[in-house]
Structure 1
Amino acid sequence: MTLKTHRLLTAALAGIVLSAVAAAPGSAAPVSADRTSAAESKRVDAVPTPKLGWYKCYEIAECATVRLPLDYDQPRGATTEIAVLRVRARDQRHKIGSLFLNPGGPGGSATEFARYAPEFLSDSLLDRFDIVGVDPRGIGASANVRCFKSVKDQTAVLDLFNVPFPVTRAEEQRYVRGSKLLGRACSTTGRPLTGAMSTAEVARDMDVMRRAVGDKKLNYLGFSYGSALGQYYANMFPDRFRALTVDGVLTPTAWVGNTRQILDERLRSSDGAYRALIEILRRCDRAGEKYCVFAAGDPVRNFETIARRLRAEPIQLPDGEGGTFTVTYAIFVSAILGALYGTDAGEVVTEISAEVWAALQGGSTAALTARARAARASRQGYDFPYENGFEATSAVICTDGRHPADAGSWPAATARRDRQAPYFGRAWGWIDSQCAHKMWTVQDEDAYRGPFNRRTVAPVLVVGNFWDPATNYRGAVASSRLLPNSRLLSSNNWGHTAYGSGVCATTAIDNYLLTGKPPAKGTVCTDSAQPFTEPLPPPGEVATLSSPTGKQRPPVATVNPESPLLPQK
């Protein structure tokens, strides 16, 4: 099975405060802003500005690689190779600067994301910015982290993670064993890179690359985990950006966490997913069978019946090639979670539920079988070359945060989360079991763990949508409260992240990046497509959703479990 891609010193020097401008008599004194600390300035500014040897690549882009310090405390010591890709602004005469992108993950390739930017970014941004993607260290086209000496050694461990998430005691035992082996491998064979992949190091790399492309101030748009990178940069370099947007927001204090809680207990991703699912099922019920394919009876109760029966016994489906597809409880839940990532979440969640319900009731399995076949056809197994997605994701999560000591504590912790957020507590809860610090012993001594409440010179735009199944909306609210000079933009769209889901949110983000002026305080976008507003199409016809912005949605990288019922994106 493939798993999708799926610290600054602890006591940092205080930021130097800008001199306050004298206030007019009777007016409130202006609030001063923070500056980059002396410690952080010493680290990054000691690195000479790299000379980028651009060459033409992918027909529309330019590529380059540079070597940056493995340890910024030793700027002339060991290095690691970093890849960068640029799509030049279409209107060079009126160019504002460069717009750095990050697609999330952690483990997503920013160079690949920037390469496809013309497909999802608005024309106004493509006209005025060079679009830049810098692959985080260890990831994508940058020098890759490898925790195993060979694909054979890697496969022996990853085969222990051969379910979307463990449910039975036997599956949990295998998963715990795999987690321990992966933690040990990344703490030994994976070094030294695994000890230098924290988000703080990527933020430092980005600041150096900002200089390399000739920008005095950074412009940044980060999605999902890329929101953590953006907030790290804003707090480490509070005076070095012009405009910075984070969309689909992880609260950095929760990301860092403590040794008592697993990651989902802090981020509450499963809470957001459960809230979105129940809202869909209730809206389906209200809409009725003319609008929702799963509306007959009580959708909430019927969904729980599906889950209960699959926990007791999986469904076996013929694959048309003499074999079978098996639909387990974990496969069903991971398919539902994957469906919640799309703006068409309502329709896809209820379609999958209706197909599984029909199979369990002795009805036709044709639709479910066709879905499983399409998903299988979209997947390509790998043996060669070495694929490091899970290791790259893990290296960031495990070095950024504090985690419980023993992977053996995850079964109880994820069961607790599943009681609080049914179906998804286990699905989200197991993503960091390899980080248990008894086995994941490698750390980044220069990882950043706060503060995350610096007053930045320029405003930060924090974007959250109500029904996000991965980055709970409360994360955007909490992050906006942490950052004194930030503005919260809320959206009613479905799926993961808001950009491209509706004209309102997309235009608000575009305008902020172009002008540096955030939308009005309290702005809530309510123009996104909502489920069950159109009658179901006749049998044999497939409903299609047109893009409200005329562009694709950003291909954000995430760590949710893959499901054999959904095509690989």
Structure 2
Amino acid sequence: MAAARDDHTSLSYAGERISWTPCGVIADHDLECSTISVPMDQFNASNNHGGKSFSIPLIRMRGKNATQNLLLNPGGPGGSGVEFVYRRGVQLNTIVGEGFHLLSFDPRGINGSRPLASCYATPDDRRNPNFSPIRGKNVDWDASEAWAWSSNFVRACADSMGEHGAYLNTPQTAADMNDILDAVGQEDMYYWGFSYGTLLGQTYATLFPERSRRVIIDGVANQFDWYESPLDREEFEDSDKVLDGFLDECIKAGPDNCTLASLAETKEDLSTALTASLNDLRDNPVAVYVNNTAYGILDYWDLRDAIFSAMYRPPSWYELSANLASLLHGNATPAFLAYGFESPPSNDSTDALYVVSYNDGASGAAHWPNDITSTLASVSPILNLSLFSSSEYTFYFSKAAWSIPRTHSYIPKRGVKTAHPLLILSTTYDPICPLISARSANDAFEDSRLIEVKGYGHCSIAVPSMCITRHVRGFLYNGTLPEENVQCEADGKPYFVKPGQDGKTKMTAEFDDAEERRIHLAQVEMAAAEGLWPKPW
């Protein structure tokens, strides 16, 4: 339906309650932006005295034959839906097709939303070392300082956000999604949520099953642990398996495609060599000097976190293997420039992750001991679960100290019957949202179906698979679900693909059909994109 234009700056559509402003064109698709206001407390209007509210920025990439809006969430908590459409709208449009407008938003408190989820009075304070933990890497050395810092940090969060801070949680955001649907005149929820977006999707589908017509959750987190358990015992279930897969696929690829394979003949020997190098780096950080504007130290924790980040995105494995091979040969400069020479975060996405996570879950004195020794004892099962999990201790210290009261009453349920069953997507080995969590959601939602992409990486889009695209399109357009849970193969060669001269990963499979070739290229580009809002390490 054509839009009504006012001086070429205002767009309105029949059946919608809001107007839009043009905000760009990407690949011959119009982008339009708007903002809605939602009540501070969606569930108790008496708390919204004085008209207290949040502003929610919206963005829409128009499909050329669209009659419905597909709502997107990129993850987090802290991911910006507005930024996501600008960054990955073209690829998602290609995968989904022209029958849907891609509609996304900045959730309450995040990015362009106001008031902001922030634990700092000003952006400069965020970069001030007096307000940041001086150390927070090694639990054996830094725990006492991190514990003390956490008590100040949580107080700063409460003071910085005021009354609004208590209403930054996932159930409130789920209710905001209804306001978005109402604003665009759409009754039924069509949704695709990634990573944390699967928690938002599960929460929405439980609270509003009658509107949940097409809900896809992709890279699934366990909502029962998220809301009810002080510790998330599943999230690192497959983390080390992905690292094992990285080493296995490296050996299979050989030295021509995985430089690291030149150091060993088996994945076991390669694992031994890498572990020895990491252990040495733990005891002996390496000084790297490039010039007087680029120098510093590469330590164990920087490299461990870089390896973990790469586990999300198999297309980054080629570069990781080259940097690790150089390090093991005695040259730490490539690894330092790639992973150790970075600026500190300058945005509020980290604060939003903390605030929403703690407001959602079992936080504070009612669920945690109030001393460091007992808290460390409580989190030790997580810290020892994986090579990568020891970084969680500072996250849990702040969770233990959290003082903002929980204002939601949401309790996850099993046996939820939605207007149409959910489609659940996962890789076989996801480093942070394991397949076991997808199976938990599959059990919780009646008649839902789980489609597993046989491969590694975070969310189904970590590896290209035309099989996944066919299932997604069949579900969105026709409500089609497989009769039982199924597996999809990855297409082509998704691991250790050498980038071209332009630095971009090339197509890894051949398709006779031109449309399938176009979709495959979009999937490759999605897989190579930066991660979908993992936890900040």
| Category of TM-score, reference length = shorter chain | 0.7 to 0.9
Counterpart Cα distance in 1 of 2:322 and 2:95: 37
Correspondent of 2:120 among 148, 156, 161: 148
| Corresponding residue of 1:546 | 507
Corresponding position: 1:395 with 2:366: no
| Corresponding residue of 1:134 | 105
Does the 8 Å contact 1:223/1:556 carry over to 2? no
Matches within 5 A, 1:465-476: 465-476=427-438
Query: Structure 1: which 4+ aligned runs deviate by more than 6 Å?
Result: 531-534, 540-543
| RMSD (Å), alpha carbons | 3.0
| Corresponding residue of 2:397 | 433
Shift of 1:399: 0.7
Counterpart Cα distance in 2 of 1:257 and 1:248: 20
Match of 2:450, SS? Answer: strand
Match of 1:466, SS? Answer: strand
Counterpart Cα distance in 1 of 2:273 and 2:502: 25
Q: Are the structure 2 counterparts of residues 99 and 427 from structure 1 closer, same or farther at C-alpha, using a change threshold of 3 Å?
A: same
Counterpart Cα distance in 1 of 2:468 and 2:193: 15
Counterpart Cα distance in 2 of 1:183 and 1:134: 27
Q: Are the structure 2 counterparts of residues 203 and 157 from structure 1 closer, same or farther at C-alpha, using a change threshold of 3 Å?
A: farther
Correspondent of 1:517 among 472, 480, 484: 480
TM-score w.r.t. structure 1 length? 0.78
Corresponding position: 1:420 with 2:385: yes
Correspondent of 1:373 among 337, 354, 378: 337
Match of 1:242, SS? Answer: strand
Corresponding position: 1:199 with 2:165: no
Q: Are the structure 2 counterparts of residues 302 and 545 from structure 1 closer, same or farther at C-alpha, using a change threshold of 3 Å?
A: farther
| Corresponding residue of 1:9 | none
Shift of 1:503: 1.5
Matches within 5 A, 1:394-543: 394-403=354-363, 404-406=368-370, 408=372, 409=374, 411-413=376-378, 415-421=380-386, 423-436=387-400, 439-499=401-461, 501-529=464-492
Counterpart Cα distance in 1 of 2:251 and 2:184: 54
Shift of 1:504: 1.5
Between Structure 1 and Structure 2, which shows a larger proportion of helix residues?
2
Between stretches 224-233 and 188-197, larger displacement belongs to: 188-197
Match of 2:150, SS? Answer: helix
Does the 8 Å contact 2:303/2:340 carry over to 1? no
Deviations 1:17-52 (A, max 9, x none): xxxxxxxxxxxxxxxxxxxxxxxxxxxxxxxx9932
Correspondent of 2:53 among 57, 79, 82: 79
Q: Are the structure 2 counterparts of residues 453 and 195 from structure 1 closer, same or farther at C-alpha, using a change threshold of 3 Å?
A: farther
| Corresponding residue of 2:242 | 276
Match of 2:217, SS? Answer: strand
Between stretches 149-158 and 248-257, larger displacement belongs to: 149-158
Amino acid in the other structure paired with 1:455: K
Q: Are the structure 2 counterparts of residues 380 and 542 from structure 1 closer, same or farther at C-alpha, using a change threshold of 3 Å?
A: closer
| Corresponding residue of 1:558 | 533
Does the 8 Å contact 1:157/1:178 carry over to 2? no
Shift of 1:180: 1.9
Shift of 1:285: 4.2
Shift of 1:322: 6.6
| Number of positions where the alignment pairs a residue of Structure 1 with one of Structure 2 | 489
Correspondent of 1:336 among 307, 310, 317: 307
Match of 1:71, SS? Answer: coil
Amino acid in the other structure paired with 1:63: C
Does the 8 Å contact 2:77/2:357 carry over to 1? yes
Larger relative contact order, structure 1 or 2 (CA cutoff 8 Å, min sep 6):
1
Identity of aligned residues (%): 23
Q: Are the structure 2 counterparts of residues 230 and 101 from structure 1 closer, same or farther at C-alpha, using a change threshold of 3 Å?
A: same
Counterpart Cα distance in 1 of 2:124 and 2:257: 50
Q: Are the structure 2 counterparts of residues 406 and 103 from structure 1 closer, same or farther at C-alpha, using a change threshold of 3 Å?
A: farther
Q: Are the structure 2 counterparts of residues 508 and 90 from structure 1 closer, same or farther at C-alpha, using a change threshold of 3 Å?
A: same
Q: Are the structure 2 counterparts of residues 475 and 325 from structure 1 closer, same or farther at C-alpha, using a change threshold of 3 Å?
A: same
Q: Are the structure 2 counterparts of residues 473 and 407 from structure 1 closer, same or farther at C-alpha, using a change threshold of 3 Å?
A: farther
Matches within 5 A, 1:101-180: 101-123=72-94, 125-143=96-114, 144-156=116-128, 160-161=132-133, 166-167=137-138, 169-180=140-151
Counterpart Cα distance in 1 of 2:424 and 2:22: 34
TM-score w.r.t. structure 2 length? 0.83
Between stretches 339-348 and 178-187, larger displacement belongs to: 339-348
Q: Are the structure 2 counterparts of residues 547 and 395 from structure 1 closer, same or farther at C-alpha, using a change threshold of 3 Å?
A: farther
Counterpart Cα distance in 1 of 2:317 and 2:454: 13
- Structure 1 portions without partners, runs of 5+: 1-48, 360-364, 563-569
Does the 8 Å contact 1:460/1:486 carry over to 2? yes
Shift of 1:530: 5.0
Shift of 1:411: 4.2
Does the 8 Å contact 2:493/2:508 carry over to 1? no
Counterpart Cα distance in 2 of 1:309 and 1:120: 42
- Structure 2 portions without partners, runs of 5+: 1-14, 510-519
Correspondent of 1:67 among 17, 30, 37: 37
Shift of 1:394: 1.0
| Corresponding residue of 1:43 | none
Shift of 1:102: 0.2
Counterpart Cα distance in 2 of 1:523 and 1:197: 36
Does the 8 Å contact 1:282/1:300 carry over to 2? no
Does the 8 Å contact 1:118/1:126 carry over to 2? no
Does the 8 Å contact 1:106/1:392 carry over to 2? yes
Deviations 1:314-353 (A, max 9, x none): 1111122276331111011001001111132543443333
Q: Are the structure 2 counterparts of residues 466 and 450 from structure 1 closer, same or farther at C-alpha, using a change threshold of 3 Å?
A: same
| Corresponding residue of 2:327 | 356
Counterpart Cα distance in 2 of 1:400 and 1:185: 19
Does the 8 Å contact 1:253/1:452 carry over to 2? no
